[in-house]
Amino acid sequence: MTFAGEVKNAVTARAALLVIGVLGLQLLFIASYVGALHKPDPTDVPFGVVAPQQMSGQLVTGLGDLPGGPLDPRAVSDAAEARRQIMNRDIDGALVVSPTGATDTVLVASGGGTVLADTLVKIIAKAEEPRQRTVRAVDVAPASREDFDGLSSFYLVVGWCVGGYLCASILAISAGTRPANRQRAAIRTGVMALYSIAGGIGGAVIVGPVLGALPGSVWALSGLGALVVFSVGMITLALEALTGIVGIGLAVLIIVIAGNPSAGGAFPLPMLPDFWRAIGPALPPGAGTWVARSIAYFKGNAVTGPLLVLSAWAVAGTVVTLLLSMRRRPDGAEEAAAAAAAGGSSLA
């Protein structure tokens, strides 16, 4: 056999296409992670300003005109309101101007991301220098000492996402990527649900009671984990039902390549480039990370939107998986139809 023939036997056309697809995913992985994380710059960070009325407007304008546009400042009535808005995750920080002394206060929330909190303090300290004023930082939602840089929420959600698409991939590879009938699709959905509950509880227990990395309700985190795992798993099953084994690669594209760097984990959303900042909240890793941090540090505030995002992925994946299984004939029907067709042609 010639060398060309050996090559054709060793690498089929289908395998070659899959290899090319993997290469594309590899390059997209590099482009997405490096593109999102290589130069974190804060842009339009929601920021409150508490100052005497006669200087509030001028100060808001000055902070809004800082080079590079790092802040999106707005006047806030008083320090208590600023704290409330930070805890509700409406703003990421606030400057409270002292009406008497020369030291102002910067309110931050390192639970939402230590890097962003530190960056806000540096920005305000530099902006205050021309006015001969100093600043002190007050952390109204501090990250746990066991939660370095506030990253535990992100890594927890990444683990849940990995479990979701790996479980779905195993279910597909072990018995065919496309569910042959409604019963098989329903069974896979049930298995995915049970796995999601176990994964959610296990992850919450590890980061909470076992490692002490995250405060907050273990049961609330468990529920979030189950939803994250199930949403990722079901969208993976749906993609596999649509495209076969290619669906695994599409799931990796959505969850790992697009979702992880845009999740606001390593750097919170206001520090990401526009594209990643826009897509992050709409993808499971971003929605999950936001809710995990809210449960741990912000009394469970501002979680409705992200929970709806996760629920939408879960419902869409489930509906597509079940609908596609209904379009396929039950086990044995295809063989019976083929036999009937063969019998009809022999009679003819």
Tokens encoding 132: 């001969």
Could you tell me if residue 260 is left (phi over 0), alpha (psi between -120 and 50 degrees) or otherwise beta? alpha
C-beta neighbour count of 47 within 10 angstroms: 28
Alpha-carbon 327 to chain mean position: 32
pLDDT for 337 equals 42
Cross-strand pairs, 105: 96, 136
C-beta neighbour count of 126 within 10 angstroms: 11
Cα(284)–Cα(288) distance, integer angstroms: 6
Least confident of 120-129, 156-165, 287-296, 338-347: 338-347
Residue 280 vs residues 5, 187, 195, 231, 277: alpha-carbon distances, Å: 47, 31, 25, 16, 5
pLDDT for 245 equals 85
339: burial class by Cβ within 10 Å (0-12, 13-18, 19+)? Answer: exposed
* Confidence tier at 292 by pLDDT (50, 70, 90): very high
Query: Is 336's pLDDT higher than 90?
Result: no
Question: CA angle 46-305-123, nearest 5°?
Answer: 15
Phi, psi of 59 (to 5 degrees): -70, -40
Q: Which of 109, 89, 101 is nearest to 128 (CA)?
A: 101
Q: State the residue for tokens 């468990």.
A: 222
* Confidence tier at 179 by pLDDT (50, 70, 90): low
Per-residue pLDDT reduced to its tens digit, 152-169:
999 999 999 999 999 999
Tokens encoding 61: 């304008």
Residue 128 host element (H or E): helix 114-128
Query: Is 244's pLDDT higher than 90?
Result: no
Cα(326)–Cα(317) distance, integer angstroms: 14
Alpha-carbon 125 to chain mean position: 32
Query: Is 149's pLDDT higher than 90?
Result: no
> In sequence order, which residues have a C-beta less than 8 Å from that of residue 147 and are 6 or more positions away?
153, 213, 214, 296
Phi, psi of 43 (to 5 degrees): -140, 125
Q: What is the mean pLDDT of the chain?
A: 90
Instruction: Give the predicted TM-score (pTM) of the model.
Output: 0.88
* Confidence tier at 5 by pLDDT (50, 70, 90): low
* Cβ atoms of 88 and 301 closer than 8 Å: yes
Residue 345 vs residues 218, 286, 348: alpha-carbon distances, Å: 65, 57, 5
Strand ranges, E, within the chain = 45-50, 71-75, 93-96, 103-108, 134-139
Cα(239)–Cα(248) distance, integer angstroms: 7
pLDDT for 335 equals 43
Q: Which of 56, 91, 63 is nearest to 77 (CA)?
A: 56
Cα(99)–Cα(88) distance, integer angstroms: 26
Per-residue pLDDT reduced to its tens digit, 121-144:
999 999 999 989 999 999 999 999
pLDDT for 3 equals 65
Tokens encoding 115: 């890097």
pLDDT for 7 equals 63
DSSP-assigned letter for residue 31: H
